[in-house]
Structure 1
Amino acid sequence: MKSYAFPAALLLSSSVVLADQASTLNPVIVTATRTAETADETLAAVTVISRDDIERSQATMLPEILRRVPGLSVVSNGGLGQSSSVFLRGTNSDHVLVLIDGIKVGSATLGTYAFQDMPLSQVERIEVVRGPRSSLYGSEAIGGVIQIFTRKGTATGEVKPRFSVSVGSHNSHQADAGLSGGDADGWFNLGLSALNTDGIDVKNDGESDKDGYSNRALSLRVGREFGDSSEVELHWLRADGEAEFDGSFQNESESRQQVLGARLSTALTDNWQSSLQLGRSWDDSDNFLDGVFSSRFDTVRDNVSWQNDIAVGVADLLTLGLDYQKDKVFSNTDFDVTEQDNRGAFAQYQTSLGRHDLIASLRTDDNQQFGRHNTGSLAWGYALANDLRLNASYGTAFKAPSFNELYYPGYGNADLGPEESRSLEVGLSGPLGNGRWAVNVYDTRIDDLIAYDASIFGPANIQNARIRGIETVLTQSLGAWLFSGNLTLLEPEDKDSGNDLPRRAREALQLDLDRQIGALSLGASLHLESSRYDNLANSRKLDGYSTLDLRASYALAADWSVQARMANLFDDQYQTAADYNEDGRTVFVTLAYQP
């Protein structure tokens, strides 16, 4: 049974609040309900990737670690730094909402976020909520929400530096540095990183060359508490990427992902916590052919969110909020419309009645393009014997068309309506020794999917899909051993043709095992995905694949360590998108200083 009381020790007011977790097995999460709750309390399917998980994995960029998440598949157009897409629970790659410290990010023209440009050295933790969340966040959250929290200083009273240097395959070099600190009243973190790699030949097109990538990133996060009930925070993240690839119209790109945000949270009364959040995100892309400028697509997204959490008695919480979003496009391509705004209002009620937990939420969005759209969800949890938990939920969601789909010259269709979904989910979970297990079964139906219509030479709402799936998850800690694993079984069906939706594997398995032996830690990760089709007609099939990664870390001294990782040990040659090669066997060695 949850308890909602507000000396703001929990600061329930905002989705960007990062509460300290008492245990890695039961972390505090905020994305599923936009309020703080522990993992064993949530009625949603959530995966938390902590800073410890990131460092243990020795992953470099965001797509590398996201593919460990149950129900999530990463499709890449080549190796490190090349364009990557995320398919969550079999929905489209633009059906996942991405937040950075509570600010919505992504390209307004493409409708997706550039996951490949996000360096993990700037990340404190990641929360992945699987299942519809439009009733809280609006458009895009059909498959779920991924929220990335940048690194945050701790209240130790000390200023702590950190740095690491890495070298690896394909003439890869990486350097990270940071400075963080704080006390009982405030905190700060500053981080910088740089990466260069010669890369691989990303595409089978008869041209044999290496396609390199470089990345430069900077993050800053500062905050201060005022008394016991108020807090202000500022955060900024910028990541610049340069990528080479194979193409006849363009073969180089320069990109910049940037997000700036501010949040003020305060207790208006003992039972009422209010939060105001302002943010702006940029997605900039300049494209070239052999060094000659070809195109520019820059988008700016402004966000304003006002959220109020009101404790009703001991076990009930009412959340009321208003959201505003404005997207702008700046391009050398002449779009018919270059600005669009959306206004949203939402309400959520959480209550506990004995062994029963209930959450109901409603939201209405007024979009400048297609008018008003309403979504809702209802979730129920029941505490069984032996700490078992039964959950069931139903939710609706939608995805607004992107600027490219609506207004791209000679292609866009201004008559497009939003894609709509409805999802039903049942789950069972419980403890197992020093770990937990969970099984979730879901059925998602998506109507009016946007697809190319040859009769109008552009996109139209002509496709419908049904996606059924099962996810099983197990985590276990036993002495010096740490194990986690998940299995996903998926049936992603295009209802119109009966074919599989493209680029979705029907089966995926992830196993991770780590062992601490004094100053030495050893680990291994096995990832398997079945075959998939690259096109909607199911005429082009991509083989399944498996990769085995090995890693080791040794503590040279109290604050010094050396790390080594070999990815894809058996050099499996595979593709997740037709004609685009994935990395073969690679090796990275790192020297790190971390107090």
Structure 2
Amino acid sequence: MQSRLPVPFRAAAVPSALAVALSALIAPAHAAPDATDLDEVVVTATRTARTQDQTLASVTVIDREQIERLQPLSLPDLLRGLPGISIANNGGPGKATSLFLRGTESDHTLVLIDGLRLGSATTGGASLQDIPVDQIERIEIVRGPFSSLYGADAIGGVIQIFTRRPQTGFAPNASVSVGSFDTLHASAGIAGRSDAGWYSLQAAHVGTEGINAMRTDLSADLDGYYNDSLSLRVGTRVAEAWTLEAHALQANTRNEYDGSFNNLTKGEQRVVGGRARFSPSAAFALTFQLGRTADLSDNFGDFSTTFDTVRELGSVQADIGIEPGLLTLGADWRSDEVATGPEQEPYDVTQRITRGAFAQWQQEFGAHALQLNARHDDDTQFGGHTTGSALWGWELTDSLRLTASAGTAFKAPTFNELYFPNYGNPRLAPEASRSVELGLRGHHDSMNWGLSAFETRVDDLIAYDATLTDDDHPFGQPNNIEEARIRGAEATFDVDVSGWLVRANATWVDPRNEVGRNAGRLLPRRARVTGRLDLDRAFGDFTAGLSVSGAGERYDDVANRNRLGGYGLVDLRLGYVINPAWSVQVTAGNVFDRAYETARFYNQPGRHYLFTVRYRPAR
């Protein structure tokens, strides 16, 4: 049976300088990046480089080719309907977006960009709507509890975004898209690589007049969104054992919206990092990473507010090939600092430091594979927390694999929950979860399929408690008073048949409160049923595609009084390759002009079009 151990730790694997440099582009600082088939490499599920077939966790990968084929208006539009994902959006492009992974809360998914943690320490979530798709090379979505590798927040899973990077020698690219709602997308970049190093520079602009975000807004004004971004990546190989890389992403946004005393937000998403990797042999790799991320938001209106988060991060990881497996040891350090505007009352505490240490063991024995993870985090706000997980795989046949896993995870309280003036509760404990999953996967020639069932129980959920009052909090505070039970199942299928590329998935979840007056009711804004079907085919120089996505009903409140109906959307696309470097594409979204809501009172785009001209020399 073919070995499934990570490629760099097979005895026969002696990677060339070229392979090492290429793999370093795919893997973040905490990966062992020497896999040979880069299209299949997944690093997020183990913090080491493994092929998607080797990975024991439930994983979805989106590459640049898929992004350009689907031509999404935004990152949430790209993620809509993927396995385990339900999305709620407050009124179209650029508006506040919540992503619920496997029925967990919107702040129970950890978001990484090039290995660095992104998001707001005040609200607890990442601004997915502000990450431009033109800057994305690849996305890995890992479903399940992964606090045992990454620390706080990874209850539902981890989404890691890799920014643009060179794949061949000198490779310029450019694209311009125009469409409905006075939409303009423009992107241009240059990239190159050689045996000695690599570089990439990409600039992008997104602008749209948008739609009227809120259906109760009597002025019916258009709420626009604008995003200007720049990404940079440079790297080199030093001597035989060292690789060095630096990367940066900056996105400046302007967003007009409804539903608050403020109606304009200017924001920034910023990621800056560097990494060094020392690998003197195929059986050892030591990786260092330093980085800084920022989520900055200034809100203007009747009352101006500022909510800024700046994170400084560091990590060290050792990957050691020890027969018969792979041992990974590592440590992370993170400082979160928040700031508010001069018109706001400051937080009692504005900084916290988190230190974490983790260990992982990966091994194969016969037809079986095992992954064991353990981690301890120590936080200056809530103290220590220990998590662990175990994943097991059994190859029943050469084309059929059974998997099972169990793990614990936690969510740290946010600064708002702890210290927001006249509201916060500094006595809060982390939310804690325990999850189990059973899966079956098959691959037959050009067909792959998977089935999985899972259950997650979350204890000490933080919710508003009107009984927790004192002199400074006469109306109550947040408290660890709720529990949730989430059960679900996923099915995935993809096949290439008679020239048609078919990808399909469906997810069912049952996320319910377990205690209190809302016991037995569904958690809000999560559709119980979601699914997506993508069909694509080339006809000579022409390409054609169809996407059908849908979501069942959901409720917008914890009491389940405000029901939002289900919906189905159909998108069409048609492309033409003018020559190996130039192509054109037209897409039509929501072609049946379906009116629907994913959050109460907030509109979603009706029928819309986008026309794209793209320049990208053949790789």
Match of 1:318, as an amino acid? L
**Distance in 1 between the 2:94 and 2:310 partners?**
22
Q: Does the CA contact (< 8 Å) of 1:542 and 1:576 recur in 2? A: yes
Where do 5+ consecutive residues of structure 1 fail to align?
Answer: none
1:57 match: 70
1:278 is matched with which residue: 254, 278, 290?
290
1:344 match: 356
1:70 match: 83
The 1:18–1:151 alpha-carbon spacing in structure 2 relative to 1, beyond 3 Å, is farther
Where do 5+ consecutive residues of structure 2 fail to align?
Answer: 469-475
Check if 1:86 corresponds to 2:102: no
1:295 is matched with which residue: 259, 281, 305?
305
Q: Does the CA contact (< 8 Å) of 2:299 and 2:305 recur in 1? A: yes
Check if 1:432 corresponds to 2:444: yes
Q: Does the CA contact (< 8 Å) of 1:91 and 1:142 recur in 2? A: yes
Q: Does the CA contact (< 8 Å) of 1:15 and 1:31 recur in 2? A: no
**Distance in 2 between the 1:23 and 1:384 partners?**
27
Q: Return 385-394 or 140-149, whichever deviates more.
A: 385-394
1:445 match: 457
1:375 match: 387
1:552 match: 574
Q: CA deviation at 1:17?
A: 6.7
Q: CA deviation at 1:32?
A: 0.1
Match of 2:308, as an amino acid? D
1:537 match: 559
1:2 match: 4
Q: How does 1:178-577 map to 2 (within 5 A)?
A: 178-207=189-218, 208-289=220-301, 294-313=304-323, 315-332=324-341, 333=344, 334-456=346-468, 457-496=476-515, 497-577=519-599
2:473 match: none
Match of 1:53, as an amino acid? Q
**Distance in 2 between the 1:242 and 1:17 partners?**
38
Q: CA deviation at 1:555?
A: 0.8
Q: Return 176-185 or 318-327, whichever deviates more.
A: 176-185
Q: Does the CA contact (< 8 Å) of 1:329 and 1:338 recur in 2? A: yes
The 1:196–1:13 alpha-carbon spacing in structure 2 relative to 1, beyond 3 Å, is closer
Q: Deviations over 1:360-383 (max 9, x none)?
A: 111000010111100000111101
**Distance in 2 between the 1:170 and 1:216 partners?**
18
Match of 1:172, as an amino acid? T
Aligned-pair identity in percent equals 47
Q: Deviations over 1:357-404 (max 9, x none)?
A: 111111000010111100000111101124200000000000000101
Q: Return 13-22 or 294-303, whichever deviates more.
A: 13-22
The 1:338–1:522 alpha-carbon spacing in structure 2 relative to 1, beyond 3 Å, is same
The 1:199–1:20 alpha-carbon spacing in structure 2 relative to 1, beyond 3 Å, is farther
Match of 1:266, as an amino acid? F
Matched length: 588
**Distance in 1 between the 2:349 and 2:592 partners?**
50
Secondary structure at 1:142's aligned position in 2? coil
Q: Deviations over 1:92-132 (max 9, x none)?
A: 00000010000011011111000001111111100000000
Q: CA deviation at 1:204?
A: 2.0
Q: CA deviation at 1:229?
A: 3.0
Q: Does the CA contact (< 8 Å) of 1:13 and 1:273 recur in 2? A: no
**Distance in 2 between the 1:13 and 1:153 partners?**
15
Q: Structure 1 length normalisation: TM-score?
A: 0.96
Q: Return 14-23 or 487-496, whichever deviates more.
A: 14-23
Secondary structure at 1:251's aligned position in 2? strand
RMSD of equivalent CA atoms: 1.6
Q: Deviations over 1:146-169 (max 9, x none)?
A: 00000111342xx22211111111
Q: Deviations over 1:423-454 (max 9, x none)?
A: 00000001033021000110100000111112
Q: CA deviation at 1:248?
A: 4.4
Secondary structure at 1:468's aligned position in 2? strand
Q: Does the CA contact (< 8 Å) of 1:60 and 1:119 recur in 2? A: no
**Distance in 2 between the 1:470 and 1:579 partners?**
30
**Distance in 1 between the 2:507 and 2:360 partners?**
30
Q: How does 1:119-134 map to 2 (within 5 A)?
A: 119-134=132-147
Check if 1:117 corresponds to 2:130: yes
Q: Return 295-304 or 430-439, whichever deviates more.
A: 430-439
Q: CA deviation at 1:577?
A: 0.5
Q: CA deviation at 1:66?
A: 1.0
Q: CA deviation at 1:69?
A: 1.8
**Distance in 2 between the 1:511 and 1:487 partners?**
9
**Distance in 2 between the 1:182 and 1:414 partners?**
50
